[in-house]
Structure 1
Amino acid sequence: MGTRQLIALVIVSSVTFLCLVLGGGYIYVTKPELLGLARPPAHDSVAAPPTVWELQLGQLEKENAHFRAETNRLKDSLQRITTELATLRQRQSELQSQLDAARAALTSVQHTVQRDSLRLKNLHILAEMYDRADPAEVAKILANAESSYAAAVLRAMKRKTAARVLEQLPKEKALAISLAALEQP
């Protein structure tokens, strides 16, 4: 083998060796898993570290997610409170209706009590006048009155005067007045 052939063999061997080394290096850098190696982490010396803007963007995205969650929670709370408020307003309306009805009933009872009190007062005044009048005249007046009214007047009068008036009344009317007096409270 001559020198020329030896040089040619060395050159071909060198070029082949360099091609293999360069191809392996390229595969090592771009796809190390083809060589059975794990891919190096993204932050190795070849990869560039994240920029300030990328870090701030990540932080802002986290804050945005937090604010969205908080907004959703507040919306849910607002919906719940709105529902409770509607329920309370409905209950207030019902209670106001009941209160108005109770006030109307109280007013009616107060008017009835005042009217009955005034009637009783007038009955006592009338009974005092009948106590001073002639029993025969009072008997003529009560003979034409309703039995329940006559019984109430006689009950308000003094007992002696009421007994004299009953003596002057017709027997049927005196009996009706006596029975009416038993039915009154």
Structure 2
Amino acid sequence: MTYLTSMKLNSSDDKIIEKFDVTKAEQIDSEKGIYGIKIVKPNSIKYFYFSESLQEKQLEAKARTVLKKLQEAKEIQEIIVKNKKLPKKFRINNELIEIDYSFKTKLEELSDDEAIELLKSSIINGREGFFCLKSDKNLTLEKALEIYREKDSTEKIFNSLKNEIQIKPLRVWSENSIHGAIILLSAGRH
């Protein structure tokens, strides 16, 4: 039984990320800027990738988060200055819970630029653009990524069959019924 699975990056991977050099890594996809290295261990192989396009998307998402948090802090700061009650979105709205709380923002002592830098340093962790696959089979970096993408596509098709089209499980599927289900799935997506 062989496996190929995605790994959640953790602090031990930060050392690999720190030393990762695209000039020394193998280029997998020039269009998306994907580079990779293979880390072979006795019982498994890590396929460690960096994607420039993924990094860009993740940094854009984190930039939106930074701006959202800054805006939220500004709203709270304005409420504090005006000595008003917090709106419901900042309160626990449950009759059974009684809370005494106070808020203080760091905006009194920070400029917007300093606040943004503080938020960036807490949200951006340096793992942006990196992902890792792990297997017990020794594949090329390109083949491991290809198989994983195919596996992901297959899982999405099965999810669609079960949840969108709501095909009930059958004990026996003929080849024709499988083709029919795929045609239904294809037609449903267009």
Q: TM-score range by the shorter chain?
A: under 0.3
Structure showing the higher strand proportion among its residues: 2
Name which one, 1 or 2, has greater alpha-carbon Rg: 1
TM-score by length of 1: 0.25
Looking at both structures, which has the greater relative contact order when contacts are Cα pairs under 8 Å and sequence separation is at least 6? Answer: 2
Structure showing the higher helix proportion among its residues: 1
